[in-house]
């Protein structure tokens, strides 16, 4: 009886030794790992006139080709505040996602996606938005905001008192 168990055990060991063992490789590339990671951050962009943009939030990750931010708030030099749950910055383009709030002196807009060209200072979106303009409800599609000209354009705009 003991010999049978020994032979079965020896055969199992022999079979296991010939089985191909798959090594679990780590597919993480250098681009997948953040170069810098910060929590409760505050970033200021400075030009010749002073601070042109201030970004603060809960999590900041700088990768080789992009920057990711969570629960972020962008304060521009045009007295405009933009809040978003997720922000992705690639070169001069800033992609904002989820629960976005744009606030100026007399205007507050809400939307789910927004793109900011940081070089031209133009905000665009192809989704629905809603908000308040001087205590008047406003809604529409395809938002276009030129922060240099202080101009707002949109399609299917509805004003409600």
**123-141: pLDDT as tens digits:** 999 989 999 988 899 999 9
User: Which DSSP symbol is given to 2?
Assistant: H
Per-residue confidence at 103, pLDDT binned at 50, 70, 90?
A: very high
Fold category of 31-160 in CATH: lipopolysaccharide transport protein A fold (2.60.450)
What is the pLDDT at residue 52?
73
Residues 6+ apart with CB under 8 A from 15: none
**Around Cβ 75, how many Cβ atoms within 10 Å?**
17
CA pair distance 130, 133, nearest whole angstrom: 10
Lowest mean pLDDT among 47-51, 69-73, 91-95: 47-51
> Which pLDDT value is given to residue 13?
74
Give me 136's structure tokens: 């008047």
d(CA 85, CA 112): 10
């Amino acid at each position: 009886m003991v010999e049978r168990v020994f032979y079965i055990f020896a055969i199992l060991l022999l079979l296991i030794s010939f089985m191909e063992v798959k090594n679990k490789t780590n597919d993480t590339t250098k681009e997948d790992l953040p170069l810098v990671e910060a929590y409760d951050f505050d970033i200021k962009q400075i030009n010749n006139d002073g601070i042109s943009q201030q970004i603060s939030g809960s999590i900041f990750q700088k990768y080789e080709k992009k920057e990711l931010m969570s629960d972020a708030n962008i304060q521009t030099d045009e007295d405009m505040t933009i809040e978003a749950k997720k922000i992705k910055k690639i070169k001069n383009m800033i992609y904002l996602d989820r629960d976005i709030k744009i606030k100026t002196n007399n205007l507050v807009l809400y939307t789910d996606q927004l793109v900011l060209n940081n070089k031209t200072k133009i905000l665009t979106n192809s989704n629905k938005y809603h908000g308040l303009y001087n205590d008047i409800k406003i809604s529409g599609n395809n938002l276009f905001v030129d922060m240099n000209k202080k101009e707002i354009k949109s399609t299917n705009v509805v004003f409600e008192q």
